[in-house]
Amino acid sequence: MVLLSIDGVECRYGSIKILENVNLNVKEGDFVGIIGPNGSGKTTLLKCISQTLKPHKGTVLLDKTDIYSIKSVELAKRMAVVPQESNIGFSFTALDIVLMGRNPHMKRFQMESGKDMSIVKEAMLRTNTWQLAERPINELSGGERQRVIIARALAQQPTVLLLDEPLTHLDMINQLEIMDLVKELCIKERLIVLAVIHDLNLAARYCSSLLMLKGATVFAAGTVEQALTSKNIKSVFRVDAIVRKSAVTNSLYVIPLTPQKICSPRNCSIHVISGAGTGTLTMKALVDEGYKVTAGVLNMLDTDYETAELLKIPTVSEAPFSPITEESKQALREMIKRAAIIVVTSVPFGYGNLSNLELALEATIRGVKTYVINEMPLEGRDFTSGKATTLLSEMKRYGAIFVDHPSELPTLVNATHDVIKMRKPSALDSGHLKRVSPEQISTK
């Protein structure tokens, strides 16, 4: 069993610590994704492992042997590195470049043998670069060049493969093909793979475990599920992100929201009626603007429900795929009473969530400022034989403002907020507004 163990590694450039107390054990067949923001020491860690930058403290052991006691030519037989960028000085052909991967296996005056050539050919076929064999490397596109460099790494026939942002120059199909290939090498040929990956979704999809770095130290390490949580992403990348499991790939995927804006809190409540992810960006934008946002009724596991949880938004919730019960309806009514502004997103309406709209209408009639985002045509999302459409046109009659796109909302809401604040500051966050009972609505 081949084992790579990194033990208490510390690295400095001058007095600045780039890595501190990094510990990691990787065994054959592991595909470790190294993630973290820029400057968190990801590349430095790979340099420590690849004998390029000797750590000031700690050791890197490959099969219980200190990496730095192995001659570089011996290490090159066992470890291959795909660097972040490849600047190649002269116009070598792609085949020349991949043949260089055989160097550690050859004697000084030996020319490449037939065996070397067949290993190289196989590496190039696997990376889909054989047809580029005679093209000068400097004339290839970024993606083609990257695949050639990966082929060179494969030609070394390593047991450890280090990749530093291997996907940077690649388009979607190339990204998937390369990750598929690396994964396959990992599983079938029991390689140890460590890859610095910026795309969290691809990391989550392909890696068997993740190492999350933040400010020179390991912030989290473990399985993808352990490391890739909304909380960790928020701490490490300072981005609110929804982490969900895709039913399609059966792996986690991350939806980053806009970066956090620093805004002074406003003493004003806004209730958002949404669902199916239509309210996510709206809720995020309003929270960023400093409003107290509430949401509901939302079904649990709905994307908007997860967003609300992530943003710590008070929510009235209902079990997945269940219609709104009387109890939730009452809770929602109480919640809406405290709101100065209501926002209805372009969520599809069915009999399950129609009550949300009814309660919104109540509030509009009461004089609560209401915004309806009408991004998608109503015909396409009204599954209540026109009842939702009727309710929305009622709302319009009572002064609800229809907005075409969620991005317009914050500006409008801010203007409204300022107007309300001037006229009647107490109305911003209160139940002082005139109360209207449901019966009064039905009589209208």
Partner 1 sequence: MSIDQVETKYSKRSSKWKLILLALIATLVVAIVLCLNIGFAPISFSEILNILAKQIPLVNNSVDPSTVSTINESIIMQIRLPRVFAGAIVGAGLAAAGVMYQGIFRNPMADSYLLGASAGASLAYTLAILYSGSLAMTFLGTGIFQFVAFAGAVITVFLVYFMSRVGKKVPITTLLLSGIVVNIFLLSLQTVFELRSGKELHGIVAWIAGGFTNITWISIYTVFPFVLVGTIIAYFYTKDLNMLSMGDDTAQHLGVNTERVRQILLLIGCLITGAAVSISGIIGFVGLIIPHMTRLVIGPDHRILLPTSTIVGAIFLILCDSLARVATGASELPVGVITALSGTPFFIYLLRRRKTMYSL
Q: Which residues bind partner 1 (CB under 8 A)?
A: 47, 50-52, 71-77, 79-81, 83, 86-93, 95-97, 99-101, 103-104, 106, 108, 111-112, 114, 117, 121, 130-131, 133-134, 136, 138-139, 156
Min CB(110)–partner 1 separation in Å: 9
What is the SS3 assignment for 209? strand
Closer CB to partner 1, 133 or 252, in the complex: 133
Amino acid letter at 118? S
Helices (H) and strands (E) in the chain, counts: 16, 18
Closer CB to partner 1, 72 or 226, in the complex: 72
Min CB(135)–partner 1 separation in Å: 10
Min CB(407)–partner 1 separation in Å: 44
Residue 30 · residue 182 · CB < 8 Å: no
DSSP character at residue 305: H
Closer CB to partner 1, 154 or 359, in the complex: 154
Min CB(208)–partner 1 separation in Å: 24
Closer CB to partner 1, 139 or 327, in the complex: 139
Min CB(264)–partner 1 separation in Å: 48
Closer CB to partner 1, 160 or 336, in the complex: 160
Closer CB to partner 1, 80 or 336, in the complex: 80
Question: How many Cα atoms are found within 13 Å in the side-chain-facing hemisphere of 431?
Answer: 5
Residue 32 CB contacts under 8 Å (≥ 6 apart), including other chains: 24, 26, 192, 193, 194, 195, 207, 208, 209, 210, 211
Closer CB to partner 1, 113 or 407, in the complex: 113
**Between β-strands 209-214 and 192-196, what pairing exists: parallel, antiparallel or unpaired?**
unpaired
Amino acid letter at 120? V
Min CB(221)–partner 1 separation in Å: 25
Closer CB to partner 1, 111 or 248, in the complex: 111
Min CB(151)–partner 1 separation in Å: 13
Min CB(270)–partner 1 separation in Å: 53
Residue 298 CB contacts under 8 Å (≥ 6 apart), including other chains: 274, 275, 304, 305, 308, 315, 316, 317, 318
The H-or-E segment that residue 20 falls in is: strand 16-27
Task: Residue 276: name the closest of 181, 344, 346, 376 by CA.
Answer: 346
Min CB(83)–partner 1 separation in Å: 6
Closer CB to partner 1, 52 or 330, in the complex: 52
**DSSP bridge partners of 101:** none
Residue 192 · residue 116 · CB < 8 Å: no
Q: What would the DSSP string read from start to end of 35-61?
A: E--TTSSHHHHHHHHTTSS--SEEEEE
Task: Residue 167: name the closest of 152, 177, 155 by CA.
Answer: 177
